């Protein structure tokens, strides 16, 4: 196997991994804070794509400004999802929250299909390309990685340095103790869900600048997020980013050695094995 | 003290059989097609109820056994001209064996981890079959129409598949009832309520859970074999469709989780609702949205489902409806 094929695939995979990781961070944050597996995660990613699409095609807004809008929409929409669908059943058995978030999934996909149909879409962005050492990096890819790292950093700054962020972590740690300290836990959980949704939509917005997509694309990325989250440890945002990079690299590199169609087999089998052998994730327990 | 027990199961089975006979007597093929689907969904939902409702393990990717059963049976009929009924049974046994093999490790996982693992297994199986050439890979397999000659032509084959599906659904309900009323069922429900306490009172949770999982895998495999026999085509996306898996969960919750009659009511209501939404020009596009809304309302406000709600509302029903 020649190095010439290996390095570009590795670079491609690595860059994509950051965007995957960003989506997975949203999923894992919600799980870490409230022990809810958000099954509306995939449609939220799709929603991020369509916010960018609608703004750029109908209003001519730059996709990266569309991305900022997507973050805000995600925050608000996520908080609404929490208050309407999750808050009432937050202490119920897993099945209930799984189904509650899945019902949101159905509703988003239902409305999305009715409005946008399932035909493929694409956002037109061209930022040129960087070349060097036999590797070509598209501008959109480079910007996507930069934004993903920036957002991940901002999330950590928020969770560890600000009072509100610390309150969210306190609620995650012990909800009743946090209540006793005067924290409005319901508001914090809604905010955490909003941030999780915003992360999903951000990664969707970034993905829309890289690939074409349909209203149903979210499902693929949702299942990928599950794999990444389990790899990085359920409830651990930093682990999710690392897990994303690992999956991205794996996807990039394995395609050099085995047919592309076998890659998902490898992914899902390792996903189940990791769950069985190390349910806390390969990267240790939750932060 | 002997209480006279209402003959719930015989009454339920007779009622289902009468409904099944209706399109035959009326000679209405489109109604028969619809009921074929309903009986299949009853089988799927009721099987999931055994592992999810009684035992408390949310098997999100349960459709994997439907797919495995469908594929093995189809392959036997396609490559070796095995008779459909034989192929269905011959497919359900390995499917149940696979359930035992994967059940032993994954049933150790609790809660969300188990749910995620079942999704992973379904997706792994789907992507594997997509690459597995003996099963036709991504394209799948399809019958030559002459296959149906053995059974007296395509029309007679459709009839045969219908009777088979009705039989499978009745057997699933009978099994579901038998499990629920047995000591084994009690141990499952004890595990659902508190596994550690169940262990203390002498239940072997690992063994009981695997047995429940195997039972809940057997019937979907039969249903898969029958569905794809009638369909004449099988391909990975259709056989291992995660959405169908989740829809069956919705039916269980809608009808009443942990009850025998719940999955039947849930499957019938869900399918009837979808049928009436699709035919309405205004609502056809919002079919998924309304399904989601219905699910959310059930989950938030009618946690026990339709049958559970009726039992709570009219205590008299509790001795008659399981």
Model pLDDT for residues B205-252, shown as the tens digit of each residue: 999 999 999 999 999 999 999 999 999 999 999 999 988 888 898 899
pLDDT band at B315 (very low <50, low <70, confident <90, very high): confident
Q: Work out how many CB contacts closer than 8 A connect A with B.
A: 123
Question: Does B197 contact A at CB distance below 8 Å?
Answer: no
Give the number of other Cβ atoms within 10 Å of residue A256's Cβ: 14
Upper half-sphere CA count for residue A166 (Cβ side, 13 Å): 6
Question: Does A35 contact B at CB distance below 8 Å?
Answer: yes
Considering only CB atoms, B292 lies closest to which of A94, A107, A279, namely A107
Residues of chain B positioned with their CB less than 8 A from the CB of A103: 292-293, 295-296, 299
| Residue of chain A whose Cα is closest to the Cα of B295 | A103
Question: Does A117 contact B at CB distance below 8 Å?
Answer: no
Question: Does B193 contact A at CB distance below 8 Å?
Answer: no
Is residue A286 predicted with pLDDT exceeding 50?
no
Within 139-168 of B, beta carbons closer than 8 Å to A belong to none
Considering only CB atoms, B117 lies closest to which of A88, A100, A275, namely A275
pLDDT confidence of residue B113: 85
Question: Does B115 contact A at CB distance below 8 Å?
Answer: yes
**Listed residue (A211, A203, A218, A249) closest to A25, CA to CA:** A203
**Listed residue (B312, B321, B273) closest to B295, CA to CA:** B273
Q: C-alpha distances in angstroms, B242 versus A15, A238, B117, B248? A: 29, 29, 13, 10
Residue that has been written with the tokens 């569309």 in this structure: A66
B91 in Cβ contact with B76 (< 8 Å)? yes
Residues of chain B positioned with their CB less than 8 A from the CB of A230: 116
Helices A94-116 and B112-131, axial angle in degrees (round to 10): 50
Question: Does B282 contact A at CB distance below 8 Å?
Answer: no
Percentage above 70 pLDDT, chain A: 96
Per the DSSP assignment, residues forming a β-bridge with B234 are: B141
Mind listing the pLDDT tens digit for each residue in A240-251? 999 999 999 988
Is residue B316 predicted with pLDDT exceeding 70?
yes
Check A279 against B113: CB less than 8 A apart: yes
Question: Does A259 contact B at CB distance below 8 Å?
Answer: yes
Question: pTM of the full predicted structure?
Answer: 0.88
Residue with the bigger pLDDT between B154 and B220: it is B220
B120 in Cβ contact with A226 (< 8 Å)? yes
Considering only CB atoms, A89 lies closest to which of B113, B286, B299, namely B299
pLDDT band at B3 (very low <50, low <70, confident <90, very high): low
Mind listing the pLDDT tens digit for each residue in A124-143? 887 777 777 677 788 888 88
Shortest Cα–Cα distance, A209 to chain B (Å)? 27
Q: What is the dihedral of CA B312, B313, B315, B320, to 10 degrees?
A: -80
- What mean pLDDT, rounded, does chain A reach? 88
Give the number of other Cβ atoms within 10 Å of residue B304's Cβ: 18
pLDDT confidence of residue B1: 45
Q: What are phi and psi of A164, to 5 degrees?
A: -65, -45
Residues of chain A positioned with their CB less than 8 A from the CB of B293: 103, 107
- What mean pLDDT, rounded, does chain B reach? 89
The residue among B60, B124, B255 with the most chain A CBs within 10 A of its CB, best to mutate, is B124
Which string of DSSP letters, residue by residue, matches B58-91? --TTTHHHHHHHHHHHHHHHHHH---HHHHHHHH
pLDDT confidence of residue B311: 87
Residue that has been written with the tokens 């009638």 in this structure: B230
Q: Which residues of B126-161 are buried (b: 16+ CB within 10 A; e: fewer)?
A: bbbbbbeeebbeeebbbbeeebbeebeeeeebbbbb
| Residue of chain B whose Cα is closest to the Cα of A279 | B113
Per the DSSP assignment, residues forming a β-bridge with A138 are: A129
Check B131 against A223: CB less than 8 A apart: no
pLDDT band at B6 (very low <50, low <70, confident <90, very high): low
């Amino acid at each position: 196997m020649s190095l010439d094929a290996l390095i570009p695939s590795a670079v491609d995979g690595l860059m994509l991994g950051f965007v995957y990781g960003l989506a997975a961070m949203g999923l894992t944050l919600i799980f870490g804070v409230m022990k809810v597996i958000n099954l509306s995660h995939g449609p939220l990613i799709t929603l991020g794509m369509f916010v960018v699409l609608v703004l750029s095609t109908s209003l001519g807004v730059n996709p990266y400004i569309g991305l900022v809008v997507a973050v805000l929409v995600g925050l608000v929409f996520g908080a609404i999802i929490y208050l309407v669908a999750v808050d009432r059943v937050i202490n119920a058995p897993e099945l209930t929250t799984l189904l509650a978030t899945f019902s949101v999934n159905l509703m988003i996909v239902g409305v999305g299909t009715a409005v946008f149909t399932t035909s493929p879409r694409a956002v037109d962005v061209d930022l040129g390309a960087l070349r060097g050492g036999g590797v070509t990096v598209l501008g959109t890819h480079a910007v996507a990685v930069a934004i993903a790292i920036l957002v991940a950093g901002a999330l950590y700054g928020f969770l560890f340095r600000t009072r509100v962020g610390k309150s969210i972590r306190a609620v995650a740690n012990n909800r009743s103790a946090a209540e006793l300290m005067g924290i409005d836990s319901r508001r914090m959980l809604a905010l955490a869900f909003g941030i999780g949704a915003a992360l999903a939509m951000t990664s969707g917005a970034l993905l829309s600048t890289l690939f074409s997509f349909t209203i149903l694309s979210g499902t693929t990325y949702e299942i990928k997020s599950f794999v990444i989250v389990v790899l990085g440890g359920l409830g651990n945002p930093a682990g999710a980013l690392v897990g994303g990079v690992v999956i991205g690299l794996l996807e990039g590199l394995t395609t050099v050695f085995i047919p592309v169609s076998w890659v998902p087999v490898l992914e899902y089998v390792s996903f189940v094995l990791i769950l069985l052998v190390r349910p806390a994730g390969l990267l240790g327990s939750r932060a | 003290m002997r209480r006279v027990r209402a003959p719930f199961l015989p009454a339920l089975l007779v009622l289902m059989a009468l409904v099944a006979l209706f399109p035959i007597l009326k000679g209405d093929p489109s109604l028969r097609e619809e009921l074929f689907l309903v009986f299949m969904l009853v089988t799927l939902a009721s099987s999931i109820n055994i592992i999810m409702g009684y035992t408390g393990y949310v098997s999100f990717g349960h459709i994997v056994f439907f797919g495995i059963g469908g594929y093995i049976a189809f392959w036997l009929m396609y490559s070796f001209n095995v008779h459909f009924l034989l192929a269905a049974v011959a497919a359900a046994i390995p499917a149940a064996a696979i359930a035992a093999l994967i059940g032993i490790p994954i049933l150790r996982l609790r809660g969300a981890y188990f749910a995620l693992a079942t999704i992973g297994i379904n997706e792994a199986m789907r992507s594997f079959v997509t690459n597995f050439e003996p099963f036709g890979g991504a394209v799948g397999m399809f019958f030559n129409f002459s296959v149906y000659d053995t059974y007296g032509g395509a029309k007679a084959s459709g009839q045969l598949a219908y009777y088979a599906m009705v039989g499978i659904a009745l057997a699933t309900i009978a099994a579901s009832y038998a499990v629920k009323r047995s000591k084994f069922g009690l141990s499952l429900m004890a595990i659902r309520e508190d596994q550690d306490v169940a262990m203390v009172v002498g239940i072997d949770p690992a063994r009981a859970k695997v047995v429940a999982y195997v039972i809940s895998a057997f019937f979907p495999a039969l249903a898969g074999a029958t569905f794809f026999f009638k369909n004449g085509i099988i391909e990975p996306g259709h056989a291992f469709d995660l959405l169908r898996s989740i829809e069956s969960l919705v039916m269980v919750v809608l009808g009443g989780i942990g009850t025998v009659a719940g999955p039947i009511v849930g499957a019938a209501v869900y399918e009837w609702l979808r049928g009436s939404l699709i035919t309405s020009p205004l609502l056809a596009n919002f079919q998924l949205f309304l399904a989601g809304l219905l699910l959310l309302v059930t989950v938030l406000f009618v946690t026990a489902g339709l049958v559970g709600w009726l039992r709570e509302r009219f205590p008299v029903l509790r001795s008659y409806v399981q």
